[in-house]
Amino acid sequence: MIKGIEIFSTSVSGNESVSGGTAISSVSADTLLKAAGTSVEEVSENLDAMQRFLKDLPGRMVVFAVRAVIAIVLFYIGSKLISLIRKIIKKSMQKAKADVSLQHFLDSLLKVGLYALLLIWIASYFGFETTSLIAVLGSAGVTIALALQGSLSNVTGGVLLLILKPFKVGDYIKEDSKGNEGFVTEIGLFYTKLRTIDEKTVVLPNGTLANTSLTNVNETPRRRLIMSFGISYKADIKKAKQIMKELVEKDARFIKGEKLQIYVESLDESQVTMGLRAIVKNEDYFEVKWDYTEAVKEAFDKEGISIPYPQLDVHFDEASPGGGVKRR
């Protein structure tokens, strides 16, 4: 470029200056292209390729749009087929009288697997190689597995719950880690759902349930009802026992023939605590507990047996000067 400028400056007039300038310009362009590592032919080829791409772009967009619509239709049809397959398998398990917990777990696992196969099939329709896609998904799965160790532990916990069966759908359980309790409504792939007495839904990770102690109230068809009632020190203990016994005998929900225990549990600071132990059916436990508590309160009031509550007695000492006051 510098040489070209020098030659041009030495030629001052005439055609020689024009021809020299033209030659210098062409030499300068070639020099620039060579310096950039690109020839004129390569630039022309790139321009032609760009023109062909822009020319074919509308057609390619139409083809892509058609394939996208077909993929959406295939996904819709596939999702309907997956729902049908799940219904058929669920009915088969119900006819085989499989455990409800196992039905929910296998249904969740089947749903995830079938949708994964559907997405792989749709991707292959767009031209992706299935083997390469599976390899990519496999490596991605390892990465995701390392990142989601907690979630995978929930899956493992769900499998353990189904194998060991510490509880099933419909059981009333109490877990000790957070004190949650309720009826089991679903054992899923990652979580177990409980319905509490006040109709709330508690979602617990399967990994937590598999690694903590819990109480299954419904392991046996019967349950012992243990209750306590406080009466005044002035009340007749034998009369209170008789009232409690008669209320048990009148209620058909108490299982007859089982040992009934009505006793003095403790002598507390302001009351005599009476205890009751009786057997009821699991499904009647809470209703019997609530109804019996109300019945005892009404019967004690009717028979004049007082139930004490915290209170302060003030006594005047007339012998002391000025009528002093003693508090007890």
Same domain, 235 and 179: no
Alpha carbons 257 and 25: distance in angstroms, whole number:
118
DSSP state of 255: P
* Confidence category of residue 18, pLDDT binned at 50, 70, 90: very low
Please write the tens of the pLDDT for every residue from 254-273: 998 888 999 999 999 889 99
Q: Using 50, 70 and 90 to split pLDDT, how confident is the model at 231?
A: very high
Domain membership of residue 170 (yes or no) is yes
Cα–Cα nearest to 282, from 140, 172, 123? 172
Amino acid at the residue 308:
P
Task: Convert the pLDDT of each residue in 192-225 to its tens digit.
Answer: 999 998 899 999 988 888 888 888 888 888 899 9
Which amino acid is it at 63? V
Going by pLDDT thresholds of 50, 70 and 90, the confidence category of residue 121 is: confident
**pLDDT surpasses 60 at 4:** no
268 found inside a domain? yes
Question: 249 vs 146, which has greater pLDDT?
Answer: 249
Comparing 133-142, 170-179, 196-205, the range with the smallest average pLDDT is 133-142
Question: How much is the pLDDT for 254?
Answer: 95
Which domain-ending residue is among 89, 112, 147? 147
Please say which residue of 126, 147, 168 terminates a domain. Answer: 147
pLDDT value of position 271: 92
- For residues 298-326, give the mean pLDDT: 73
By three-state DSSP, how is residue 45 classified?
A: helix
More confident residue, 327 or 236: 236
* pLDDT surpasses 50 at 19: no
pLDDT of residue 118: 84
142/23: higher pLDDT: 142
Please tell me whether residues 198 and 237 are part of one structural domain: no
Give the Cα separation of 231 and 300 in Å (integer).
Answer: 9
Task: Give the separation between CA 175 and CA 222, rounded to whole angstroms.
Answer: 20
Cβ atoms of 237 and 231 within 8 Å: the answer is yes
| Average pLDDT across the chain, whole number | 78
CATH code of the domain containing 232: 3.30.70.100
Most confident residue range from 150-164, 195-209, 233-247: 233-247
Question: Looking at residue 250, what is its pLDDT?
Answer: 94
In b/e form, how buried is each residue of 165-187, taking b as 16+ CB within 10 angstroms? eebbbebbbebeeeebbbbbebb
Identify whether 96 is part of a domain.
Answer: yes
Same domain, 236 and 298: yes
What is the per-residue pLDDT across 32-73, written as a single tens digit (0 to 9) for each?
555 555 555 666 666 676 777 667 677 777 777 777 888 888
- Is the separation of the CB atoms in 121 and 137 below 8 Å? no
Q: What gap in Å lies between CA 309 and CA 42, rounded to an integer?
A: 101
Ranges 77-81, 87-91, 252-256, 313-317: which has the least confidence:
313-317
Angle, alpha carbons 29-33-36 (nearest 5°): 140
* pTM of the predicted model over 0.85: no
User: Alpha-carbon dihedral of residues 63, 69, 75, 77, nearest 10 degrees?
Assistant: -120
Domain that holds residue 226: 220-302
Q: Is 195 a member of any domain? A: yes
CATH number at residue 140: 1.10.287.1260
Phi, psi dihedral angles at 261 (to 5 degrees): -120, 120
The whole-number pLDDT of residue 266 equals 94
Q: Quote the longest CA-to-CA distance of the chain.
A: 147
- Predicted local confidence at residue 225, as pLDDT: 94
Of the residues 147, 162, 197, which one is the last residue of a structural domain? 147
Domains held by the chain: number: 3
Number of Cβ atoms within 10 Å of the Cβ of 134: 12
Residue 39 lies in a domain: no
**Confidence (pLDDT) at 2:** 41
**How high is the pLDDT of residue 24?**
43
Task: Choose from 163-167, 215-219, 268-272, 310-314 the range with maximum mean pLDDT.
Answer: 268-272
Terminal CA-CA length for the chain: 115
**Rounded Cα distance, 311 and 270, in Å:** 9
Higher pLDDT, 25 or 75: 75
Average pLDDT score over residue span 154-163: 80
The owner of tokens 């719950």 is: 161
Indicate if 199 and 161 belong to the same structural domain.
Answer: yes
Residues 135 and 84 in one domain: yes
298 and 243 inside one domain: yes
Phi, psi of 231 (to 5 degrees): -125, 160
For residues 198 and 255, what is the distance between their CA atoms, to the nearest angstrom?
27
